[in-house]
């Protein structure tokens, strides 16, 4: 079955700790994305990557970091610099044929709670 | 930059009734438009998308949406709602020459009464 997996489903973190969220896809998609979802605010883009070893900041990148060493994987690290990290995090992937309008497919999400 | 407004935060309909969820966008050229559905604690599933051509788009689960350029709208409709349609619905817009970046609306939570 092709798809996107995210782990863990739930994650608890103490203040001041860095945590890494996993995202893996076997759809052979070139592009991958990380979004943050807060109640009533829709989805906001954190980072995206069009190709291996390259990534770009989205609208709310401060306090987050990513890497793209493999096509299948796009882990997100939430650092201690992120002031309000409690949220639902969604990973997505897409083709990048035209660079416009390629459909994004989403993983099941990780809920991060800071204690 | 593009923007998306979903005016209704919550909507409640009776099972079997028709449904229309509103989406208004702001973008100067022809947009790419998407509707996604999210069940509680889950990821987003694509319902349908509009790129060009026929302005009435058919999607999965019996949903359809109509692109109206004059009204800058892309409303989602279903003729008869089922209890399993209770979820949150998101409209999103993409733009030419903007990569694959999407701007999402705030979502509409649909509740279905038996």
Q: What pLDDT is stored for residue B91 in this prediction? A: 97
pLDDT tens-digit series, residues A10-67: 999 998 899 999 999 999 999 999 999 998 778 999 999 999 999 999 999 999 999 9
B102 touches chain A (CB under 8 A): yes
pLDDT tens-digit series, residues A7-26: 999 999 998 899 999 999 99
Name the token pair of B14: 């009776």
Interface test with B, best of A100, A105, A110, A113 (most B CBs within 10 A): A100
Rounded (to 5) percent helix, strand, coil in chain B? 10, 55, 40
Q: What pLDDT is stored for residue B93 in this prediction? A: 92
Say how far apart CA A45 and CA A104 lie, in whole Å.
12
Of A58, A100, A111, Cβ closest to residue B96: A100
Name the token pair of B58: 């058919």
Residue B70's region, left for phi above 0, alpha for psi from -120 to 50, else beta, is alpha
Taking a C-beta distance cutoff of 8 angstroms, is the pair A89, A36 a contact? yes
Q: Distances from the Cα of A62 to the Cαs of A7, A66, A85, in angstroms? A: 22, 11, 11
Q: Are strands B10-14 and A54-57 parallel, antiparallel or unpaired?
A: unpaired
Q: What pLDDT is stored for residue A99 in this prediction? A: 63
pLDDT tens-digit series, residues B58-106: 999 999 999 999 999 999 999 999 999 999 999 999 887 777 889 999 9
Q: What pLDDT is stored for residue A40 in this prediction? A: 74
Phi, psi of B57 (to 5 degrees): -115, 130
Taking a C-beta distance cutoff of 8 angstroms, is the pair A46, A112 a contact? no
pLDDT tens-digit series, residues B20-40: 999 999 987 778 999 999 998
Tell me: pLDDT of B4 over 80. Answer: yes
SS3 (DSSP) at A55: strand
């Amino acid at each position: 079955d092709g798809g996107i997996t995210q782990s863990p489903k739930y994650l608890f973190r103490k203040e001041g700790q860095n945590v890494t969220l996993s995202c893996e896809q076997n759809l052979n998609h070139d592009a991958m994305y990380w979004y943050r979802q807060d109640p009533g605010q829709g989805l906001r883009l954190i980072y995206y990557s069009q190709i291996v070893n390259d990534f770009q900041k989205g609208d709310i990148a401060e306090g987050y970091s990513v890497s793209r060493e493999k096509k299948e994987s796009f882990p997100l690290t939430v650092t201690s610099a992120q002031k309000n990290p409690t949220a639902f995090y969604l990973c997505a992937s897409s083709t990048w044929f035209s660079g416009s309008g390629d459909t994004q497919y989403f993983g099941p999400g990780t809920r991060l709670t800071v204690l | 930059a593009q923007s998306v407004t979903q005016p209704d935060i919550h909507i409640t309909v009776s099972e079997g009734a028709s449904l229309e969820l509103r989406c208004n966008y702001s973008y100067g050229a022809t947009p790419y438009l998407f509707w996604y559905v999210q069940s509680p604690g889950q990821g987003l599933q694509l319902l349908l998308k509009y790129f060009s051509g026929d302005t009435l788009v058919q999607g999965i689960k019996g949903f359809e949406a109509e692109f109206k350029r004059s009204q800058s709208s892309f409303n989602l409709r279903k003729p008869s709602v089922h209890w399993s349609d209770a979820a949150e619905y998101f409209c999103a817009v993409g733009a030419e020459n903007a990569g694959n970046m999407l701007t999402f609306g705030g979502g509409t939570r649909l509740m279905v009464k038996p």
